[in-house]
Structure 1
Amino acid sequence: MWMDTKSEAKQASRTRAGLHQRLFNSLLLCTGDMLHLDQHMEGKLFVLQLAVWSLRGVARVILANNPLSGALILAALYWASPWQGLLGTLGVLASTLTAVIIGQDSAEVSAGLHGFNGMLVSLLMGVFSSAGDWYWWLLLPVCFGSATCTFLFSGLSPLLDRWDLPVAVFPFNIVIVLYLLCTGPNNPYYPHHLATPPGALELNATQLDTAEVVRGIPLGVGQIYACGALGPSLIILGAVLLYSPLMALHALLGSAAGTLAGLSMAVRHASLYSGLSGFNGALGCMGVGGLFFTFSWRTHLFAIASAFLSAYADIALSNLLGSVGLPACSWAATLMVTLMLLLTGQSLAAYRIPIGQVKAPEHNLRSRSQWESGNTSDRESTDV
């Protein structure tokens, strides 16, 4: 009887261990790039495929390539503002469908590369519009601007491919600035708010609220999607964590560096509290800290440097463009990461990953020996 009880206990223990292992393996399938999902979606209805492509495009804004991360981010945007969520959904669909219609590379479309610029354009149009929420006429420039991003992406790709550089969010930055220049604050159809320079003097000198500054660090991650609410910003950070814990760490670190840069330049308190001082730093830190470069102590230091440089460049560009009422958007992080990729010194270039082989940072660590040996077969184009 005692032997039977002992045997049953061992069997129950093995069953629990097997269940835990299966659960852990299932969770692992939801992390990283989820390439197995693309194989599963082959031959499925076009609507289902389009949904997965678009969710990847949503996640690409924050440098991730995971449809579940995209779904979490989209849910966070709808929570923060249903109107902004609708605009973002329409933007990513418009740009992705445009890529399908004009016959762009199917691998790029399925990877969401033609969706994220359109989503950013639509979100910023909504944020800067002074016509208020549910202004249905805004859907026209949202669709047109998002579709234009696809054409710019296609035009810039051959140019930047010569230097093995990503197109990144150059199309978004170009389109949103052109849109704001075309409309103006007093446009009868599409009026918008003027951007305020972060270096503008405070009307009333007030004491800095430390708690609000700390709160602005996670908000800096949410501001990548023009989201200034704490709860949705934490969900967006969780979506990055689902894709890559290493990138989530660098997102917070970069946002903190951007906040410190803002403090050192005495920017407006509103920029610190809302996370606007941190989002370029977060993007600059994530791009270098494991995405385009294999993670190491050296690239980690370069990532921190990239965060500070992106933040300071953002302050400078915001003050410059803000003098004419224009936002600096993410020009600073885009330019700084591009410059980092152009560095030819052995200290950083030796860790660089070819753009066609970029995946989640943890995967990059495991596969470094493959791309160092020059194996370029089965490349999957990845962009930011």
Structure 2
Amino acid sequence: MWMDTKTEAMEASRSRATLSRRVLDGLLLCTGDMEHLDEHIKDRWFVLQLAVWGLRGVTRVILANNPLSGAVILAALFWASPWQGLLGTLGVLASTLTAVLIGQDSAEVSGGLHGFNGMLVSLLMGVFSSAGDWYWWLLLPVCLGSATCVFLFSGLTSVLDRWDLPAAVFPFNITIVLYLLCTGPNNPYFPHHLATLPGTLELNGTEFIAVEVLRGIPLGVGQIFACGALGPSLLILGAVLLYSPLLAVHAVLGSAVGTLAGLSMAVHQDSLYSGLSGFNGALGCMAVGGLFFTFNWRTHLLALASAFLSAYADIALRNLLGTVGLPACSWAATLTATLMLLLSGSLAAHRIPMGQVRAPEHNLRSRSQWQAGHTAERRESTDV
């Protein structure tokens, strides 16, 4: 009888271990790039495929590539503002459908590469519009601007591919600047707010509220999607964590570095408290910290340097473009990341080719396997 009880206990322990293992495997399937999902939907309805492509495009804004993370981010945007959530959804769908209609590369479309610029354009049009929420005329430039990003992305990619560089968010930055220049604050159909010059704000004091400054760090991650609410920003950070813990750490570090750079330049408190000082630093840090470079202590220091450079460049560009009423958008992080990818010397050896970029943890494992295989080959050749 004692043996029977012991056997039952062992079987129960095995079943619990098996269940835990299955749950863990299921959770791991939801992380990273979720490439298995592409095989699963290959022969499914086009609407389902379009939804997955669009969700991948949503996460590409924040340098991720996970449709489940995209769904979490969309939920965060609708939580912060249903109007902004609607504009973002329409933008990513308009640009993705345009790419399908004009016959862009299927791998780029399914990977969401033609969706994220359209989403950013639509979100910024909504943020800068002075006509208020639920202004339906705005849907026209949202669709046209999102479609324009596809043509710019395709043209820039053919040029930048020569140096193995990504088109990144150059199409978004170009399109939104052209839109704001074409309309103006007094346009009868599409009026927008002018970017405020730092010198026109009320006198900036030297006293800061430490809690508000710390609160601005997670808000810096949310501001990548033009979201200035704390709860949705934390949800966006959680979506990045689901895709890659390493990328999420660099997002927080980059935003903190951007906030520190803003403090050192005594930028206005509103920029620090709202996260606007941190989002370019977050983007610059994430791009280098494991995404386009394999992660190690050298590239980690390079990622922090990229965050500082992005943050300081953003301050300078805001002061410059503010003279003509234009926002700096993400020009600083985009230009800085491009310069980092052009680096030569020993750091260039850690750079990942554009066609092989995956989640940072996957990049790290692939690099380790490649180095192990290379070491084994050298040993075999030496033995011979």
TM-score, length of structure 1 as denominator length: 0.95
User: Is structure 2 residue 277 aligned with structure 1 residue 277?
Assistant: yes
CA contact (8 A) 2:204 2:268 kept: no
Q: How does 1:307-318 map to 2 (within 5 A)?
A: 307-318=307-318
Q: Could you tell me how far apart the structure 2 residues matched to 1:315 and 1:196 are?
A: 13
Q: CA deviation at 1:197?
A: 3.6
Q: CA deviation at 1:208?
A: 1.0
Q: Which residue of 2 aligns with 1:380?
A: none
Where does structure 1 differ by over 3 angstroms across 4 or more consecutive aligned residues? Answer: 197-206, 369-375
SS of equivalent residue, structure 2 residue 252: helix
CA contact (8 A) 1:353 1:371 kept: no
Q: Could you tell me how far apart the structure 2 residues matched to 1:170 and 1:371 are?
A: 32
Q: How does 1:186-225 map to 2 (within 5 A)?
A: 186-198=186-198, 202-203=202-203, 205=205, 207-225=207-225
Q: Which residue of 1 aligns with 2:127?
A: 127
CA contact (8 A) 2:280 2:311 kept: yes
Q: Could you tell me how far apart the structure 2 residues matched to 1:290 and 1:119 are?
A: 24
Q: Which residue of 2 aligns with 1:227?
A: 227
**RMSD between aligned alpha carbons?**
1.5
Deviations 1:180-236 (A, max 9, x none): 000111111111011124565533637311100000000000000000000000000
Q: Could you tell me how far apart the structure 1 residues matched to 2:261 and 2:44 are?
A: 48
Q: How does 1:52-67 map to 2 (within 5 A)?
A: 52-67=52-67
Q: Could you tell me how far apart the structure 1 residues matched to 2:256 and 2:373 are?
A: 37
Q: How does 1:172-191 map to 2 (within 5 A)?
A: 172-191=172-191
Q: CA deviation at 1:368?
A: 1.2
Deviations 1:322-363 (A, max 9, x none): 111100000000000000000011x31010000000000000
Q: Which residue of 2 aligns with 1:263?
A: 263
Q: Could you tell me how far apart the structure 2 residues matched to 1:354 and 1:373 are?
A: 19
SS of equivalent residue, structure 1 residue 31: coil
CA contact (8 A) 1:217 1:259 kept: yes
Q: Which residue of 2 aligns with 1:34?
A: 34
Q: Which residue of 2 aligns with 1:360?
A: 359
Q: Could you tell me how far apart the structure 2 residues matched to 1:171 and 1:119 are?
A: 11
CA contact (8 A) 1:199 1:267 kept: no
Identity of aligned residues (%): 83
SS of equivalent residue, structure 2 residue 295: coil
More helix by share: 2
Distance change >3 Å, CA 12–CA 198, structure 1 → 2: farther
Deviations 1:17-39 (A, max 9, x none): 11000000000000000000000
Moved more, 171-180 or 195-204: 195-204
Q: Could you tell me how far apart the structure 1 residues matched to 2:110 and 2:199 are?
A: 41
CA contact (8 A) 1:290 1:361 kept: yes
Q: Could you tell me how far apart the structure 2 residues matched to 1:101 and 1:331 are?
A: 29
Q: Could you tell me how far apart the structure 2 residues matched to 1:197 and 1:21 are?
A: 56
Q: Could you tell me how far apart the structure 1 residues matched to 2:354 and 2:257 are?
A: 26
Q: Could you tell me how far apart the structure 1 residues matched to 2:191 and 2:370 are?
A: 49
Distance change >3 Å, CA 38–CA 213, structure 1 → 2: same
Q: How does 1:1-384 map to 2 (within 5 A)?
A: 1-198=1-198, 202-203=202-203, 205=205, 207-345=207-345, 347-368=346-367
CA contact (8 A) 1:198 1:271 kept: no
Counterpart code for 1:181: L
SS of equivalent residue, structure 2 residue 120: helix
Unaligned runs of 5+ in 1: 376-384
Counterpart code for 2:362: H
SS of equivalent residue, structure 2 residue 350: coil
Higher relative contact order (CA 8 A, sep 6+): 1
Distance change >3 Å, CA 183–CA 220, structure 1 → 2: same
Q: Could you tell me how far apart the structure 2 residues matched to 1:224 and 1:361 are?
A: 20
Distance change >3 Å, CA 275–CA 350, structure 1 → 2: same
Q: How many residues in Structure 1 have an aligned counterpart in Structure 2?
A: 374
Q: Which residue of 2 aligns with 1:379?
A: none
SS of equivalent residue, structure 1 residue 235: helix
Q: Could you tell me how far apart the structure 1 residues matched to 2:370 and 2:158 are?
A: 22
Q: Could you tell me how far apart the structure 1 residues matched to 2:106 and 2:5 are?
A: 59
